Chains A and B, each alone.
Chain A
Amino acid sequence: NAGVTQTPKFQVLKTGQSMTLQCAQDMNHEYMSWYRQDPGMGLRLIHYSVGAGITDQGEVPNGYNVSRSTTEDFPLRLLSAAPSQTSVYFCASSPAGQGAYEQYFGPGTRLTVT
């Protein structure tokens, strides 16, 4: 299994541009989440999904959209990039079921907005 994959690894955007960060998992996990990590800080939750067709906002959702049309994919869209969105973005997945709380993280996408 590839686990959780993210593309691209690096991206530079100009202010106002839009783009989609891709996330895919091949473990048939129900739960998927997007986090951002700013320098020297922990992760903050942007959006999450408890299954295909169901998404919800996290702690810092403004400026981002998500959709979950399949179990495998959970793309994150930046609508109009701003320098404040410069960060490292991590996607994570987790299986359903009682006691299965461990999250599996992708390698991250490093985004710079100029």
Chain B
Amino acid sequence: KQEVTQIPAALSVPEGENLVLNCSFTDSAIYNLQWFRQDPGKGLTSLLLIQSSQREQTSGRLNASLDKSSGRSTLYIAASQPGDSATYLCAVKDSNYQLIWGAGTKLIIKP
């Protein structure tokens, strides 16, 4: 049974720092992995989707990597800003069709 874990559960850093969020999954047979952002009481914003054949995806200050063999993904945020404060969710689509979600990392960027 696929399980997705995100570490750390919460992270607080000063503005301007580069940071890395981690996501691990137990079954490497996945179709893709997706990173989302969720603001308090709001919906889901898709940030990056990495297909299983890819190793990384980039969008602006965000870079997501995927190492399927080790069951890990990282989300790198460069030059963090207070507006980046949110909960970041990782989800994998495995051999089935449903998304399996991590519990999220709550990120606070201090001005």
Q: Do A and B come from one complex?
A: no
A binding-site residues for B, Cβ under 8 Å? none
